[in-house]
């Protein structure tokens, strides 16, 4: 048996100015891709374990992942896609792809759909199985050019391997039992907020996922996935969707219709009600004066690294300082120029410089932000490398790029060369900061901070900055998104029966 197995993964925020060249993916090719993916906690790692179990010959054209950011450069998409299509063109018994489902390039609003259409053209009758992220913006092109589609059922994502195993089981049935799965999908006009997709807490998203799991327990239903979608993408297919893979098309359609009807009935509960920033900081000040251990955690969800944020928006820190908060640890803030200036000054030196607000903000709102002028002492300089202590990505070596700490007296700012998700204590401890010991901790995160920093905190307060990952859809100039769509258009009419499969 000959299997083509690959990973090409990116969540594209079309409003983000953060560039996404090929280097952002740190692609591994051929044998290097095999070595990198083997044993990894990814769907591709599960695909390779399946291949080993069935003693298949494996071709691994690419293993590539980039952090969420702006539009993928065409050359990057082309290089990775060409490698996959070329491998498939040489002949194989099945194709197993680990994709995100929300990739947008400068030329293609549907990066995965375009890839899959080319794979299908190269192998018209070959089984194609695809593992997808919960935040997939599912398209007709993706569904029609694959045989099996299964998405994550957790956010934060802890079932990547399980999803890959699910895809592999169905592809194995296609190869050995002549299974010919039917697919049905439904795409309600619903642009859910990412902050309402946490599957660890009670709510509409967890209920929808549980309904999908129950559907998978029915005879004949092979896979049922509810996608939250990635809303910060100005494309025709952004938003929530359902895809069902079953032995019979009528059953697939019935289940997809039922699950989508549940999403629509619960649509109000997929909308995040934002508090204004001044009010959030005032609340934080009051809570900070109350008794209790641990810092008050201020989440700058409008500039979230893992949704394509620039990581240089200074709104939350500026408001915190304006309202008199002190004993603050904040960051990482991405500002290569400031890092270089601090490194040149050296540890122990008092400096004055401008920090943050470097990349163009939302063109849709015409915001003109200026860097914050900060004065303080350089407390630490680092290469920004650390090893994750867990529980997410335990043992993985990460880097923020060159990093430094500026101590202003009221706040200690971690400034890094690269955008970086604050998902581990090592982010701070690598530069000598102890985040559990401050009064206020400002993080640019939505979800991945939770396993480590939520247990340390006295209280968690969401803070709405005007960044490219804001939950305020009014800030964004959607031009390709079909209208009406809920909640931008509150009276949007829709019934699941009106949606084509």
Is it true that the peptide bond before 332 is cis, omega within 30 degrees of 0? yes
Residue 382: φ, ψ to 5°: -150, 160
Both tokens of residue 469?
A: 């990952």
Q: Are strands 385-387 and 350-355 parallel, antiparallel or unpaired?
A: unpaired
| Distance from C-alpha of 330 to C-alpha of 422, rounded to nearest angstrom | 10
- Secondary structure class of 135 (helix, strand, coil): coil
- Secondary structure class of 392 (helix, strand, coil): coil
The secondary structure element, H or E, covering residue 375 is strand 372-382
| Distance from C-alpha of 249 to C-alpha of 145, rounded to nearest angstrom | 16
Q: Contact 285/323 with Cβ under 8 angstroms? A: yes
Count of CB atoms situated within 10 Å of the CB of 363 = 12
CATH T-level fold of 1-180? Rossmann fold (3.40.50)
Q: Are strands 350-355 and 328-334 parallel, antiparallel or unpaired?
A: unpaired
pLDDT tens per residue across all 501 residues of the chain: 999 999 999 999 999 999 999 999 999 999 999 999 999 999 999 999 999 999 999 999 999 999 999 999 999 999 999 999 999 999 999 999 999 999 999 999 999 999 999 999 999 999 999 999 999 999 999 999 999 999 999 998 989 999 999 999 999 999 999 999 999 999 999 999 999 999 999 999 999 999 999 999 999 999 999 999 999 999 999 999 999 999 999 999 999 999 999 999 999 999 999 999 999 999 999 998 877 789 999 999 999 999 999 999 999 999 999 999 999 999 999 999 999 999 999 999 999 999 999 987 665 556 678 999 999 999 999 999 999 987 877 888 899 999 999 999 999 999 999 999 999 999 999 999 999 999 999 999 988 898 999 999 999 999 999 999 999 999 999 999 999 999 999 999 999 875 555
Name the residue among 158, 171, 140, 156 with its Cα closest to residue 51: 171
Both tokens of residue 54?
A: 């069935």
CA 45, distance to chain mean position in Å, is 19
Residue 394's pLDDT is 80
Residue 468's pLDDT is 92
Domains 1-180 and 181-274+479-501 belong to one CATH topology: no
Structure letter (DSSP) for residue 105: B
Which residue in the block uniquely carries the two structure tokens 């192998």? 123
Both tokens of residue 69?
A: 């950011």
3-state SS record for 215-263: HHCCCCEEEEEEECCCCCCCCCCCCCEEEEEECCHHHHHHHHHHHHHHH
Residue 365's pLDDT is 59
Both tokens of residue 401?
A: 């790029």
CB-count burial class (<10 Å; 0-12, 13-18, 19+) for 124: exposed
Q: What's the start-to-end Cα distance of the chain, in Å? A: 33
Class of domain 181-274+479-501: alpha beta
pTM above threshold 0.85: yes
Structure letter (DSSP) for residue 275: P
Residue 498's pLDDT is 54
- Secondary structure class of 463 (helix, strand, coil): strand
Q: Contact 25/66 with Cβ under 8 angstroms? A: yes
| Domain locations in the chain as residue ranges | 1-180, 181-274+479-501, 277-470
Sequence-separated (6 or more) residues with CB below 8 Å from residue 204: 196, 263, 266, 269, 270
| Distance from C-alpha of 255 to C-alpha of 261, rounded to nearest angstrom | 10
């Amino acid at each position: 048996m000959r299997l083509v197995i690959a990973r090409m993964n990116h969540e594209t925020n079309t409003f983000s100015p953060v560039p996404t060249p090929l280097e952002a993916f740190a692609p591994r090719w051929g044998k290097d891709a095999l070595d990198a993916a083997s044993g990894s906690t990814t769907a591709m790692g599960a695909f390779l374990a399946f291949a080993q179990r069935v003693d298949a010959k494996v071709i691994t054209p690419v293993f590539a992942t980039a952090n969420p950011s702006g539009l993928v450069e065409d050359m990057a998409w082309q290089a990775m896609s060409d490698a996959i299509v070329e491998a498939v063109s040489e002949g194989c018994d099945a194709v197993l792809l680990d994709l995100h489902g929300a990739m947008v390039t400068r030329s293609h609003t549907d990066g995965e759909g375009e890839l899959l259409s080319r794979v299908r053209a190269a192998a018209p009758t070959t089984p194609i199985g695809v593992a997808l992220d919960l935040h997939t913006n599912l398209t007709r092109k993706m569904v029609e050019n694959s045989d099996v589609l299964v998405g994550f059922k957790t956010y934060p994502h802890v079932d990547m391997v399980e999803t890959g195993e699910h895809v592999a089981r169905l592809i194995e049935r296609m190869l050995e039992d002549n299974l010919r799965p039917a697919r049905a999908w439904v795409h309600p006009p619903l642009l859910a907020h990412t902050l309402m997709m946490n599957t660890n807490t009670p709510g509409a998203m967890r209920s929808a996922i549980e309904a999908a799991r129950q559907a998978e327990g029915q005879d004949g239903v092979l896979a049922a996935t509810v996608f939250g979608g990635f809303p910060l993408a100005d494309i025709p297919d952004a938003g929530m969707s359902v895809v069902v893979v079953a032995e019979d098309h009528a059953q697939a359609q019935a289940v997809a219709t039922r699950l989508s009807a549940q999403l629509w009935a619960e649509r109000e509960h997929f909308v995040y009600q934002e508090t204004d920033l001044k009010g959030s900081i005032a609340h934080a000040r009051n809570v900070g004066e109350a008794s209790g251990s641990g810092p008050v955690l201020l989440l700058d969800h409008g500039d979230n690294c893992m949704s394509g944020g620039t990581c240089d928006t200074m709104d939350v820190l500026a408001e915190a300082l304006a309202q008199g908060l002190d004993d603050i640890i904040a960051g990482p803030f991405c500002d290569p120029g400031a890092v270089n200036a601090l490194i040149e000054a050296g540890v122990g030196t008092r400096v004055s410089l401008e920090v943050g607000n470097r990349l163009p903000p939302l063109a849709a709102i015409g915001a003109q932000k200026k860097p914050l002028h900060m004065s303080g002492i350089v407390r630490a300089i680092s290469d920004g490398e650390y090893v994750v202590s867990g529980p997410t990505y335990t043992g993985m070596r990460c880097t923020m790029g060159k990093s430094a700490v500026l101590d202003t007296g009221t706040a200690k700012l971690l400034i890094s060369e690269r955008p970086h998700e604050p998902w581990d204590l090592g982010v701070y401890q690598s530069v000598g900061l102890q985040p559990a010991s401050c009064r206020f901790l400002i993080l640019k995160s939505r979800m991945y901070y939770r396993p480590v920093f939520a247990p340390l905190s006295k209280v968690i307060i969401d803070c709405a900055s005007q960044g490219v990952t804001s939950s305020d859809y009014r800030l964004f100039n959607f031009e390709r998104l079909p209208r009406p769509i809920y909640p931008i258009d509150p009276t949007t009419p829709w019934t699941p029966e009106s949606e084509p499969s």
